[in-house]
Structure 1
Amino acid sequence: MTREDFNRFWIINYPDTVPISHLFKHDHMDRWFRIHSLPESKRYADNDEEWSILLMRQNEIITDLFGANSKVILVTGEYNWGERTIHLVDEEEVYKKYSFSRLDNIDLYKLNPDDYDNGEVYRPAFAETVWIPNQHDKLLQEIANDNTRAFFVSFDKNIIVAPYDGGVDFVLKDSLTRDIYKNKYKDWLSIREDGL
């Protein structure tokens, strides 16, 4: 997939947002839902048993949505604002097995001047990969520890899977499909009314 292909598919499927995962829950509320990775909405795993639960939950639901051995796109990027820095994807050990292509920079100040300073940018990149259960566990653990940020997308199935430190956000093809999976995984949902 070329950069042009990615941009074309993104605009067709997600015209109301840019490829930055924390925006999805706001830009696609009608087809978004979230699961928590640990019981009682605990945010971080502290021991092997909790890591086992976290990875089991994430692998189970992601495999259910994508299907095992499905081609997906991994999207991540580089940013540096405030005290938070994510380095170039090829400098991070967890990304060495993926072959990334750069996308156009996103001007964060232009996107949201209330939250960002002039000159702050996000430098996204994508890599084609295959979703195989437990093959992306190191990356899922790094995201769960808030050491990096990345998400998976299937343009074929119109699904975004965006893990974060605490759970996973999903954007499905429509609200009906979202409701089916929300019900299926209701025991992993937040008890909050807003679903966060």
Structure 2
Amino acid sequence: MMTKEDFQNLWNLNYPNTVPISHLFKHDYSDRWFRIHSLPASKRYAENENEWEILLSRQNEIITDLLGLETPIVTVTGEYNWGDNRQIHVTDEEEIFKSFSFVRLDKIQLNKIDAEQYDEPNIYSPAFAQTIWKPNYHDKLLREIANDNTRAFFVSFDKNIIVAPYDGGVDFILKDNQTRDNYKEKYKQWLSEREDGL
């Protein structure tokens, strides 16, 4: 069973330049980052079952390719608290997280990360749960993320990979830029046409 201290040590060892908040990864590890879009023509949201099938098929295919089958991973989520002290955590409230056994991490003071964007009372409260990756096992969670109903990302410390789905696609942080370039080439049909890769 991974403890809070185990997670923090592994995180600091593998990702010392960032904190476990997924929208920061593409900036903090831009040399190892790439993004795929979940739907053709960079469409953001699935509107019917056919589009959901494409979205989940793409996400499961590339994540399985990167992580492998039955791979131990850690699911990380959290919530923002804007100045109030919430007693209930998102992992206890949201149905999608009920099957996981979450461990709370230390709260992150957002103004220490970005003083321009955040005021002092703004806190992010992350939590993690150990699980495995196998195709379609996390489809309910992937759907909730794709609908922008929740946020979470997966990390394999063994493989040094972060998988961060969002409403529109998936961000990846791979172990080095060569590995990143190989996968970008392999999945070039799913990349953004924008120069910045977003």
Q: CA RMSD in A?
A: 1.5
Structure-1 residue corresponding to 2:175: 173
Q: How does 1:43-82 map to 2 (within 5 A)?
A: 43-81=44-82
1:117 to partner: Cα distance: 2.0
1:52 to partner: Cα distance: 0.5
Deviation string, structure 1 residues 35-55 (Cα, Å, up to 9, x no partner): 000000000111111111000
Residue 124 of structure 1 aligns to a residue whose secondary structure is: strand
Q: How does 1:3-22 map to 2 (within 5 A)?
A: 3-22=4-23
2: CA distance between counterparts of 1:81 and 1:120?
A: 5
Deviation string, structure 1 residues 45-90 (Cα, Å, up to 9, x no partner): 11111111000000000000000110000000121449xx995211
Percent of pairs identical after alignment?
Answer: 71
Tell me which amino acid in the other structure corresponds to 2:103: S
2: CA distance between counterparts of 1:47 and 1:39?
A: 14
- For the 8 Å contact 2:26–2:33, the answer to whether it is kept is yes
Structure-1 residue corresponding to 2:125: 123
Unaligned stretches of 5+ in structure 2? none
2: CA distance between counterparts of 1:67 and 1:175?
A: 20
- For the 8 Å contact 1:107–1:121, the answer to whether it is kept is yes
2: CA distance between counterparts of 1:191 and 1:17?
A: 27
Structure-2 residue corresponding to 1:150: 152
Tell me which amino acid in the other structure corresponds to 1:132: K
2: CA distance between counterparts of 1:17 and 1:128?
A: 21
Q: How does 1:11-50 map to 2 (within 5 A)?
A: 11-50=12-51
Structure-2 residue corresponding to 1:135: 137
Number of equivalenced pairs: 194
2: CA distance between counterparts of 1:90 and 1:136?
A: 18
1: CA distance between counterparts of 2:111 and 2:62?
A: 35
1: CA distance between counterparts of 2:117 and 2:91?
A: 24
Structure-2 residue corresponding to 1:114: 116
- CA distance 1:87–1:102, shift in 2 (3 Å): closer
- For the 8 Å contact 1:79–1:87, the answer to whether it is kept is no
- For the 8 Å contact 1:109–1:117, the answer to whether it is kept is yes
TM-score by length of 2: 0.95
Unaligned stretches of 5+ in structure 1? none
Residue 196 of structure 2 aligns to a residue whose secondary structure is: coil
1:101 to partner: Cα distance: 0.1
- CA distance 1:188–1:123, shift in 2 (3 Å): same
2: CA distance between counterparts of 1:31 and 1:194?
A: 14
